[in-house]
A = this chain, B = another copy of it.
């Protein structure tokens, strides 16, 4: 099912509740996917998001060389694909074919989006401050996408079709439970 475009100001609402994401990147002919639990919005105006990536990772190199990346929000049913993307290296594998995910052409960047995901955020790399053994990749939001039915002013995580994955430890994750309102 195709993505529908959302305003760039809504990027934060795809990741505000802390889901594990897939980061896509591409430089020249080499595209990659990486699993990342360390991701957050970081600015309203202009809309920006940040993802922390280990300095030795292949995706780190691709993002610095291309100055762009995408954040793809996982559906909980993609548990095995997510694990594949987080445990294999893209230096020696094509992660899309290896992990069974479908590349989708974005609007502003060369890095592909992931067709099976709930939504995606296309980003231009704005800065990449070092924090210990990771770089914080700060991206200005260029476009935001969501599957029809999963987003209605917020991610509808109470629906089976819009459940995200949240990483607790090693092989342990949780999915969203109840909605609570103040």
Contact residues of A with B, CB < 8 Å?
13, 16-19, 37-48, 50, 52, 76, 79-80, 82-83, 126-127, 129, 131-134, 136, 138, 140, 153-155, 157-158, 165-169, 171-182
Q: Point out the residues of chain B lying under 8 angstroms from A181, CB to CB.
A: 171-173
Q: Point out the residues of chain B lying under 8 angstroms from A155, CB to CB.
A: 168
Q: Point out the residues of chain B lying under 8 angstroms from A13, CB to CB.
A: 168-169
> In the complex this chain forms, how many copies of it are found?
2
- Most chain B CB inside 10 Å of its own CB: which residue of A16, A134, A166, A174: A174
CA distance A48 to B84 in the complex (A): 26
- Does the CB pair B50–A136 fall under 8 Å? yes
With A175-B180, A178-B177 as known contacts, state yes or no: A168 contacts B132, CB within 8 Å. Answer: no
Specify which of B41, B48, B157, B174 is in contact with A157 (CB 8 Å cutoff).
Answer: B174
